[in-house]
Amino acid sequence: MRFNAFAHPVIYPKSRVKNLLKTCSKHDYFLQKDGRRIVLELHTEGNSRVYQKVKGKESFFLMERHTFRYPSTRYSGSKRRFLDWIWSNLKDIRFQSVLDVFGGTASVSLLFKIHGKEVHYNDLLKFNQIIGTALVENKKTIVTAADLKNALTFDRKTYPEFIQKEFKSIFYLDNENAWLDKAITEFSQVRDKYKRAILLSALFQACLAKRPFNLFHRANLYIRTNNVHRNFGNKTTWERPFENLVSRYVSEYNKSVFDNSKKNRVIGGYNALDCPNGVDLVYLDPPYFSASSNQGANYFTFYHFLEGLANYDKWPRLLYSPRSKTKKFHEPSEIYEWVQKDRICETFEKLIARFQDNIIVLSYQSDGIPSKEEILLTLKHFKKKVKVFSKTHQYVLSPKVKEELLFVAK
């Protein structure tokens, strides 16, 4: 999936832009009205021309663009595959600022950033906030080859051994655990906020890539090490050295850094029901609760190891039960509102009520709790105009066809 991202504007004469437009067919561009600005994107050249009235005078801007690719992610529930579809249903809405309440790995935040919106990113998990810092807040900083080489030069006399001791034979091999202790120590000491965020984000993605099912909810290293025939899983990636994977993901993150001339920021790790507002549109992608399950998706359980890396110095004190198989740590009480069946519908109502004064865009699945009809009913209680869009899809390892829902309430 390729997109183009804004870089630095260059002013062109009106006549020059008009001549360029004459060479294009109507199928090669689209208009996007955004306040006083009209964005005209030419697909043939991969450039975007912006027409804007400034103090009553007409002027055209050619926005120099670079080829952009969303960084890959193996994060559960990521909306990366739906980004084109999401924007196709939002592009005619007039808004300047957006709050991504459940930011995750920032794919949707990047979508809004690409389209020139001021993005406020939030997520309860610290490791996700770091990813948001690398991609949403970061305007121009990248990790150079020299930066990466320095970060991967483990030249200290001694390193902590927390992961080696606490997570032996749980998620990774012994030599990989030792490498992680060294890497997180070095990466955490990088002074530049955005370089550090990119390095840590790349480390998180590398950790996911080397895990069966890309999760940490089970102590299942044996799936990697057993010498058996496999019809699933990426054995090649599992056995690839951490250094190689980190280098790959650093490159991906570097290519996703750009400045859209807005004050985008990570606002913190707020509970969704307490998240600061002050924007035009709020995007909600809450944890999914399957109707066939007794418990909702618990992202602290899924990714506690990554959250531990993000809190490496505090990790020993955060362990919930050192004797447990996966070495989880204490979860914030806010998470239970989203994972308990007897509370989930009430939590949805509170969430929608919290943002009733904003344009609300909500992603969910059709077979979840609350149901499509229940969500519609709640939205219509607070909003005058509500639309719902749907798109069928199928996950690689699942035979079931799913239906992705997008609610738009104004």
- Dump pLDDT digits (tens) for 277-293: 999 999 999 999 999 89
Q: In 118-139, which positions are buried (b, 16+ CB within 10 angstroms) versus exposed (e)?
A: bbbbbbbbbbbbbbbbbbbbbe
9: pLDDT strictly greater than 70: no
The answer to pTM > 0.75 is yes
| Domain map (residue ranges) of the chain | 1-69, 71-410
| Alpha-carbon distances, residue 370 vs 120, 124, 233, 367, 378 (angstroms) | 26, 22, 32, 9, 10
13: pLDDT strictly greater than 60: no
- Contact between 213 and 264 under an 8 Å Cβ cutoff? The reply is no
Q: In 177-214, which positions are buried (b, 16+ CB within 10 angstroms) versus exposed (e)?
A: bbbbbbbbbbbeebeeebbbbbbbbbbbbbbbbbbbbb
State pLDDT tens for residues 321-333: 656 788 888 888 8
State pLDDT tens for residues 147-175: 999 999 999 999 999 999 999 999 999 99
Query: What gap in Å lies between CA 167 and CA 389, rounded to an integer?
Result: 44
Confidence of residue 75 (pLDDT cuts 50, 70, 90): confident
Lowest mean pLDDT among 167-171, 207-211, 299-303, 320-324: 320-324
Q: What amino acid is encoded at 344 in this protein?
A: I
What is the pLDDT, as a whole number, of residue 232?
A: 58
Query: What gap in Å lies between CA 26 and CA 198, rounded to an integer?
Result: 39
> Tokens 């991202």 label which residue?
5
What is the pLDDT, as a whole number, of residue 125?
A: 95
The whole-chain average pLDDT of the chain stands at 84
State pLDDT tens for residues 333-379: 888 999 999 999 999 999 999 999 999 999 999 999 999 999 999 99
Which of 344, 333, 364 lies closest to 102, judged by CA? 364
Q: What amino acid is encoded at 139 in this protein?
A: K
Taking CA 103 as the corner, what is the angle to CA 303 and CA 133, rounded to the nearest 5 degrees? Answer: 90
Query: What gap in Å lies between CA 122 and CA 120, rounded to an integer?
Result: 7
In CATH terms, 71-410 corresponds, of 3.30.450.40, 3.30.70.3040, 3.90.850.10, 3.40.50.150, to 3.40.50.150
For residue 175, the surrounding DSSP H or E stretch is helix 174-188
